[in-house]
Structure 1
Amino acid sequence: MSLIVALRSAAKQHLKGCKRSLTQRLAAEILAVDCGLKPCFLYDFGTADVLQIQRYLMELLQIGFIQGPLHILNMEGTILIINVPRAASYLTMLLNSGELHVIDVSATLKHPEMCDKDSILGIQSQLSNLLAHLTPYQSEVPGTISVADIPCTEWNLCTMFGFLLHYPAVYWFDTTRNFENCLSLTPLKLVTVKTSCCKLGLQKIPMYSFTIPESVYHTLQLLLQAWTESLQHTFATQHYFTDLDIIMETVILPAVAL
């Protein structure tokens, strides 16, 4: 059985709602996490639950497509597939640096701005709790697919997802007021990272995609440059993906969902 046929068979058997046309793209996302190119992948390819995804990943292990270990984390119904050593190392670095680059996009603001110190302290506490959850899973051996939930009802999940997905700067908004934001019709720098995976016959697939408002771009320009250089270095340490392409353009959108 060819690799592509095996991947399609695994997705069909285990993943509810995953379209056949997306199975190679999904496999590429998981491979990128498994090889350490990115620390995390937010599963949005269907309605599969954590146990179905666990069985799917176990089959990918059995056919030798990935090595593991990987961790499946359920955060209030959103499922993330995590390379724990990579993610924990990144979160530890962030917390030790004392510098979290968080953009306040609360709907009450006229335009996005960097978060104040009080908000940052709350985010640091949440990140510490997230790291404490991940730490025990750092010692898992290859071939392991672990599953867990984490209590996070009071967290701004948009912010936590942004950190786990390794965005250089993440969004925050005051969830005690509403879940709207001030990004509509705001000039945004859209950063898209594309790469190819010959193993799966995929060309120029999006690997990262995030925005930074132009109103704070000057504050974050050096950070974005450092993030880009770090990504290029990480990219050079693996052999599954080629043709790294980092594209930046300015967009103005009528609405932005977070």
Structure 2
Amino acid sequence: CGAAGLAELRRYLARLREAGLAPRRLHLLDAGGSALLLHPGLARQRLAAALRTHPPPFVDVSARRRCPALCGPVETETIRGHLAALLAHLEAAEATATDSVSSSEVVPTGWNLCTVVGVLLGYPAAYAFAMEEGTENCLALTPLRVFAVQASCPRIRDGLVVQIYSFSIPESLCTELKEVLDAWCDELKEAFRAQSDFVDLRISSEVVSLPAVAL
């Protein structure tokens, strides 16, 4: 988004905080022209969790593959190197932050932002693909289990149900990733109990096959 765009976003977020609509500290990360709005503590927590999770929660969906599979050791170490670099960057930025809305810039050379953003969003498993192949993938017509997280938000309107987020995992890998999925579910429920804005947490899943999947 460039320096000018980042500065404008910071001013906008500062006004939201003044209005009491964004009580937590926020960090704007410029990653190769993409602006990511992060809660610093939560972002660091999710990066650290992805670095220690076993099996590594990265799914290779490169177009050259016949079907999705967990990333191999070489690909996994590359991804972990990128996540570790981002974690170190955020720790350094947090150590020097003085405002309630801070910002920094990182040059994501070789990073797959699809994977990085998946980790930052808290997905239990993130998709990865060979960057030299572009954004094509092998998920077309592949059975995917789509998880959706919904909750009611009475602060806005009684009976209002909102979808907080959703993600997919290849159905063929759900058994292999069961421990990771169970941990995600438990952590989500724990985080839900620690807040008061949303009630009636609902976690659903269904299997779909689509003619094309954009990442």
User: TM-score under structure 1 normalisation?
Assistant: 0.76
Matched residue type, 2:200: D
**Runs of 4+ that moved beyond 3 A:** 96-99, 137-143
Corresponding position: 1:192 with 2:123:
no
Distance, in Å, in 1 between the alignment partners of 2:90 and 2:210 is 36
Alignment of 1:1-258 (within 5 A): 49-97=5-53, 99-139=55-95, 144-201=100-157, 203-258=160-215
Structure 1 residues 211 and 96: CA distance shift in structure 2, 3 A: closer
Alignment deviations for residues 44-89 of structure 1 (CA, whole Å, 9 cap, x no partner): xxxx932232122111111112223100112223221111111112
Distance, in Å, in 2 between the alignment partners of 1:200 and 1:54 is 25
Distance, in Å, in 1 between the alignment partners of 2:31 and 2:54 is 25
Distance, in Å, in 2 between the alignment partners of 1:215 and 1:97 is 20
Matched residue type, 1:184: A
Matched-pair contact (CA < 8 Å) for 1:84–1:137: no
Matched residue type, 2:183: A
1:197 positional shift:
2.2
Matched-pair contact (CA < 8 Å) for 1:192–1:209: yes
1:216 positional shift:
1.1
The DSSP-based 3-state class of the residue aligned with 1:218 is coil
Range with greater deviation from structure 2 (192-201 or 205-214) = 192-201
The DSSP-based 3-state class of the residue aligned with 2:132 is coil
Query: Can you give the 5+ residue segments of structure 2 that lack an aligned partner in the other structure?
Result: none
1:142 positional shift:
9.1
Percent identical residues: 37
Two-structure CA RMSD over aligned residues (Å): 2.0
Alignment deviations for residues 21-61 of structure 1 (CA, whole Å, 9 cap, x no partner): xxxxxxxxxxxxxxxxxxxxxxxxxxx93223212211111
Matched residue type, 2:213: V
Query: Can you give the 5+ residue segments of structure 1 that lack an aligned partner in the other structure?
Result: 1-47
How many residues align? The count is 211
